[in-house]
Structure 1
Amino acid sequence: MEKRRCHWCSSDPLYIDYHDQEWGVPVHDDTVLFEFLLLESFQAGLSWITILKKREHFRKAFDNFDYQHIALYDNDKKEVLLQNPGIIRNKLKVNSAVTNAQNFIKVQQEFGSFDSYIWGFVNNKPIKNHWKYYEDCPATTPLSDAISKDLKKRGFKFVGSTIVYAFMQAIGMVNDHEVNCFKY
């Protein structure tokens, strides 16, 4: 018998693997948290499958999501990124990756880790929702609004409430698997 998955999970093997192995699984490693923050910010206005298909190109282009390194990118490196057909070539998003890396480090310095900061919003305990249909899941919540507002106050870019909520789902801060999904 085939596993039941959330309805958004298409037949694409990349999507299935992401759904089964990553989406909604709590992440506490700062490098992986930065990876998802960067990928979600580039996803703005696009489909997640587009980003997943380009993920390895992003990994290579952005030095394995090494935020310490990305924080030091100069204009020459940004120009190289804007010429890379393997990633989303959007100047504002490329600039935001550098700005966000710099601010990510500032948050680490203030809280000890980005993990402590971000998971503090949920008292280190994932929120488990009970959606029968994924379509019932909101795009934003009062919590994603609050996190977005705080990130923006700290200088982060491309962190609107919808992006933040998708980030929360990706890193397992919120479990939005449908109740009939085997990952629920």
Structure 2
Amino acid sequence: MSYCDYCKALPVDNHHRIYHDFHYGFPIEDDNELFGRLILEINQAGLSWDIILKKQQAFREAYSGFSIEEVALYTETDRERLLANPGIIRNRLKINAAIHNAGVILELKKEHGTFKSWIEHHHPKKKEEWVKIFKKTFKFTGGEIVNEFLMSTGYLPGAHVESCSIFREHIQQTGLVY
């Protein structure tokens, strides 16, 4: 069963249905939101997406509204605060990756203006090419994390199946050809 079929059977107020219908596969214009999606995808590694969706607001609060500038300045005190926060995934490697990646994004913004512009500079690429770029640039970005991050933000196809009611809207907004 595809994620689309799974979500179609859920009530409209279910967190999976809301994510699928309004967020999954659609472009994100705001750099902080792009960074937030990267944090969520990194934290999903080894866990279910359901857990991440349920903790999404706690992640936003814990990581300063996903402010790249603020997270890049996090200190050891902030790391310990995050490690003690039961509302998020308390994994030191994932927390360290988020802080490190925020600093990397700040550097990318110096050259490209925005995180989104950096991604656009490399687009389009195949998944394997994207994985190499992300692994070279960021921490904790393996193949599945990169694939889901780019698919969920409209840079790789596959977020929706053709029979999905959201499919046409997705194609229109992303320009992806399946």
The one-letter code sitting in structure 1 at the alignment partner of 2:155 is M
1:80 aligned residue: 81
Q: Does 1:6 align with 2:4?
A: yes
| TM norm structure 2 | 0.84
Matched, 1:115 2:116: yes
Residue 121 of structure 2 aligns with an amino acid whose one-letter code is G
> Residue 31 of structure 2 aligns with which residue?
30
1:164 maps onto 2:164 in alignment = no
Deviation at 1:14, TM superposition (A): 0.3
The runs of 5 or more residues in structure 2 that have no matched partner are: 168-178
Task: Tell me if the contact between 1:44 and 1:158 (Cα under 8 Å) persists in the aligned partners.
Answer: no
More deviation, 145-154/78-87:
145-154
Higher normalized contact order (CA 8 Å, seq sep 6+, divided by chain length): 1
Mark the runs of 5 or more structure 1 residues left unpaired by the alignment: 124-141
Aligned to 2:40: 39
CA contact (8 A) 1:62 1:70 kept: yes
Structure 2 counterpart of 1:71, one-letter code: A
1:6-155 matched pairs, under 5 angstroms: 6-9=4-7, 11=10, 13-123=14-124, 143-154=126-137
Tell me which stretches of 4 or more aligned residues in structure 1 moved more than 6 Å: none
Q: CA contact under 8 A between 2:39 and 2:98: conserved in structure 1?
A: yes
SS in 2 for 1:6: helix
| Cα distance, 1:106 vs structure 2 | 1.0
C-alpha distance in 1, partners of 2:143/2:23? 21
TM (norm. structure 1) is 0.82
Query: RMSD of aligned C-alpha atoms?
Result: 1.6
Partner of 1:99: helix, strand, or coil?
Answer: helix
The answer as to whether partners of 1:152 and 1:159 remain within 8 angstroms in 2 is yes
What per-residue deviation string (whole Å, max 9, x for no partner) do you get for residues 33-54 of structure 1? 1111111111111111110100
For 1:103 and 1:116, the matched residues in 2 are separated by 14
- AA in 2 matched with 1:104: I
What residue number does 2:162 align with?
Answer: 179
Number of residue-to-residue matches in the alignment: 161
Tell me, in whole angstroms, the C-alpha distance in 1 between the residues paired with 2:96 and 2:128.
23
Q: Taking structure 1 as reference, are residues 68 and 146 closer, same or farther at Cα in structure 2, changes over 3 Å only?
A: same
Q: CA deviation at 1:8?
A: 4.0
Give the distance between the partners of 2:4 and 2:73, measured in 1 at CA.
Answer: 39
Structure-2 separation of matches of 1:57 and 1:144: 30
Q: Is the 8 A contact 1:144 1:162 kept in 2?
A: no
Does the 8 A contact of 1:24 with 1:171 survive in 2?
yes
Instruction: Give the helix-richer structure, 1 or 2.
Output: 2
- Residue 144 of structure 1: CA displacement? 2.4
Percent pairwise identity: 40
Q: Secondary structure at the match of 2:123?
A: coil
